A and B are shown apart, each in its own frame.
Chain A
């Protein structure tokens, strides 16, 4: 059978993802996580009078911690199955990617298992995040002289 005919058949019979449902779930779960972040920020900044910068860091840390604990107890993936981008895009997705890989590779030892594989999935975020940071820094530095 011709390859192009095969491709046509695959396209015809492969069911499509329920995009509208996925987007609605992602919107509400992602929105809930961001609202939770705002509440944590308000708690530190307004109630405890912590500076804005430090309060922002506290928000990130607490969300990472919650996602890590939920991953450890095997709950996160069940939420993410419905939430999709809602849990993936906020910092919770990064936390889950690191912790789940660490859990999986722990059977292969601390150095060559966890150490070598912990950033298997989160690696691109770190690499390209750093690259973007450096690029932004250079542009910012040049803009100071203009």
Chain B
């Protein structure tokens, strides 16, 4: 069976938004965020609710940009990093829209867009659907690592979980279409080091990219960029090494969202940004506007996810990676 599903080009980005926190505002893409809260709290008492509120705000902004009421959205597909995806359920409960929660760790952005476009492809009556992805640094630190104020040193390969949300309203009009999607495979990352997730995920990104080009008839030059989610410096170097050996030349097209979100001079994010909000917010603030304006015509977009839990790491299990892929094109060029 083919891994790639081709779409007819009728599923388009109708509207999108990005919301972030203090560090995201200070980053190179800071001014392009629709809203940033310097307290990272979004008016809430707990970090978990802050993440939920961030998702709610981002969907509201995307709706207002599209001049749509929430009642016109037929389906929501959303995910985050919290246990049982509770951030999405709490944050989106008030909208009263049929909802599908997804978990792909940091690959959630691409996964949710893939699931949503699959729904919209099979049911043409769905006029608008929304995909929402959130991650919050403090909520993630608390759940996956140590308390927020705990004083410790991080290794240079460690990454900084983004406090960011991205919402995408897909419709039947717009310039940028999702042309194809391809689910990722669960690939062994060969390490149980939770501070080296970029390296662990790089193998899944390599698998998806190489599998895509093995199956498709498009040459590499058909695309402007091959965008990965949050491999950071370590994971990007590793991925480029694999790509160089397997398909020379392809590594020149690679760019990583985790390297674009923060200013490495201002914030010691070590290897770069991580968290599912990274690829969602960078897609929304950087790549979609470039595709809309025509500066980019076609890109492959793969958010990369590290599949693990704090317990599985303590039990010595390896981190597994996953990298679903979507092909985005400005079809009015």
Given A15-B234, A107-B45, A107-B46, A76:B190 Cβ within 8 A: no
Does residue B146 face the partner (Cβ distance < 8 Å to A)?
yes
Name the A residues within 8 Å of B147 (CB-CB).
100-101, 103-105, 120-121
Q: Is A33 an interface residue (CB 8 A)?
A: no
Most chain A CB within 10 A, of B153, B196, B241, is at B153
Give the A-B contact count at a CB cut-off of 8 A: 101
Q: List residues 142-180 of chain B with CB under 8 A from any CB of chain A.
A: 142, 146-157
A37 at interface (Cβ–Cβ under 8 A)? Answer: no
| CB-nearest residue of chain A to B206 | A1
- Could you tell me if A76 and B199 are in contact, using CB atoms closer than 8 angstroms? no
Contact at A9–B151, with CB atoms within 8 Å?
no
Which of B48, B150, B152, B237 has most A Cβ within 10 Å?
Answer: B150
A interface size (C-beta, 8 A): 38
User: Interface majority SS on B: helix, strand, loop or mixed?
Assistant: loop
CB-defined contacts of B203 to chain A, threshold 8 Å: 1, 6
Q: Is the CB of B188 within 8 A of A3?
A: yes
Q: With the chains together, A99 CA to B146 CA distance in Å?
A: 12
CB of A96 within 8 Å of the partner chain: yes
8 Å CB contacts to A: which residues of B231-285?
233-234, 237-238, 241-242, 268, 271
Q: How long is the Cα–Cα vector from A90 to B47 in the complex, in angstroms?
A: 30
Residue contact B156 to A9, C-beta cutoff 8 Å = no
B121: A residues at CB distance < 8 A = none
A108 CA to B45 CA, complexed, in Å = 11
Closest 3 CB pairs of A and B: A80-B151, A6-B190, A100-B147
